[in-house]
Amino acid sequence: MRSFDEIYEISASRKGGVDALEELLSKPLPQSELLEIPDDRWLSRFSQHVFSAGFNWKVIETKWPGFEEAFHGFDLGRCAFMDDEMFDSLIQDTRIVRHGAKILSVRDNAAFLLELRDEHGSVAQALAGWPKDDYVGLLKMLKKRGTRLGGNTGAYALRFMGVDGFIFSRDVVGRLVAEGVIDKAPTSQKALAQAQNAFNTWAEQSGRSLTEISRVLAFSL
């Protein structure tokens, strides 16, 4: 496995130099800012990525103000207690994409986030406070306890919220394979642990966030 500096050099050479690469590296939000994010914003972001999965994300983005209105600002309580009347209204609401299973996922994920809030005091405390050296544990938790948050859906939602972490995109997986860390997109507990260990090593070597490391890996191919 190459050192982070070696992979960084590969990425910089592909992107036109160090300065050009640095311009492309997104960084996570400071912990203090993450902890200020209201619970409803987490549900909104998770829902946006659930609805975007397998669909034109630009369409979802354009329609999102309508989603916000239809789902009452993604208030956890109102969404978690979605009844048949509310569902029937939503399935006919032209402000949103009328996908029954995804509409119900908003209800299920609202209930899930209410549980996290009860356990940790707020959704932000639960998600932003997760140990970075076990980020795969956070992704596994979202997949297990949430609805339609497996694959890269949960990871992309966390990235857009500013949580420090990595995404197993095609290029990131390609670099991990090239470095002999894994042999394909990680799904087993063993492969996920191997990927986490590699990111932990590169974080120790570089002092950089998981988000930056993930981006550097992606730009290396």
**What domains are there in the chain, each with its CATH number?**
4-28+166-219 (no CATH), 33-161 (1.10.340.30)
**Residues in contact with 201: Cβ distance below 8 Å, sequence separation at least 6, in sequence order:** 1
Integer Cα distance of 199 and 217 in angstroms:
10
Sign of the alpha-carbon torsion through 105, 163, 128, 73: negative
- CA dist 106 → 8, 56, 67, 103 (Å): 39, 19, 11, 6
Longest dimension (CA), the chain: 58
Count CA atoms within 13 Å of residue 58 on its CB side. Answer: 0
Write down the pLDDT at residue 127: 97
Integer Cα distance of 93 and 157 in angstroms:
24
Write down the pLDDT at residue 139: 98
- CA dist 196 → 104, 137, 166, 186 (Å): 32, 9, 9, 10
Write down the pLDDT at residue 48: 98
Integer Cα distance of 189 and 134 in angstroms:
12
Write down the pLDDT at residue 90: 98
The model's pTM is 0.95
Write down the pLDDT at residue 9: 98
Write down the pLDDT at residue 16: 97
Burial letters for 74-91: b for 16+ Cβ neighbours within 10 Å, e otherwise?
bebeebbebeeebeeebe
pLDDT < 70 regions, the chain: none
